[in-house]
């Protein structure tokens, strides 16, 4: 997992999302054009909302994207996420080749993990919206069609 952009003591105004940390990972088997892994970390630091992203071959030493985002851009997405009810039991699916996606939403010691194979479950639209924004913020322009619909 990627490390924080900045370190230090935080003094934040409490909101439903002020302590959230978002960890996103995707692994495609087999890889498409040699690219098979994405890792993104979004967290609030003393500098603001910081995002780190790495994509490419899981074995390569690709550079990491690190930047501080505008608070209002991040908070709109996170507020939607915390206000949305997400189904706890998606439909059953199985396959061999494809992409496994994992989104972890951490809030202190509590963690909600959403993991799916290939196409995003219909009831998890807020998770798909979050992942599309994470991709946009780190400049990832690869395959996102699997986030569009459940087959």
Residue 140 scores a pLDDT above 60: yes
Per-residue model confidence (pLDDT) at position 1: 44
Higher pLDDT, 36 or 76: 76
Nearest to 6 by CA among 40, 45, 34: 45
pTM confidence score: 0.78
Instruction: Report the C-alpha gap between 3 and 6 in whole angstroms.
Output: 9
The predicted-structure confidence for 81-139, as pLDDT tens digits, reads as follows 888 888 888 878 777 777 888 999 998 888 999 998 888 888 888 898 899 999 899 88
Location of structure tokens 């490390």 = 3
């Amino acid at each position: 997992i990627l490390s924080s952009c900045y370190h230090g003591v935080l003094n934040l105004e409490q909101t439903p999302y002020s302590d959230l940390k978002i960890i996103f990972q995707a692994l495609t088997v087999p890889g498409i054009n040699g690219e098979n892994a994405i890792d993104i970390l979004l967290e609030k630091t003393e500098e603001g909302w910081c995002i780190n992203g790495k994509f490419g071959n899981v074995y390569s030493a690709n550079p990491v994207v690190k930047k501080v985002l505008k608070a209002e851009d991040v908070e709109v997405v996170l507020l939607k996420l915390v206000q949305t009810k997400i189904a706890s039991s998606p439909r059953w699916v199985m396959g061999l080749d494809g992409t496994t996606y994992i989104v972890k939403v951490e809030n202190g010691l509590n963690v909600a993990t959403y993991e799916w194979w290939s196409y995003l479950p219909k009831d998890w639209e807020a998770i798909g919206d979050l992942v599309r924004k994470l991709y946009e913020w780190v400049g990832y322009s690869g395959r996102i069609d699997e986030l569009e619909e459940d087959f």
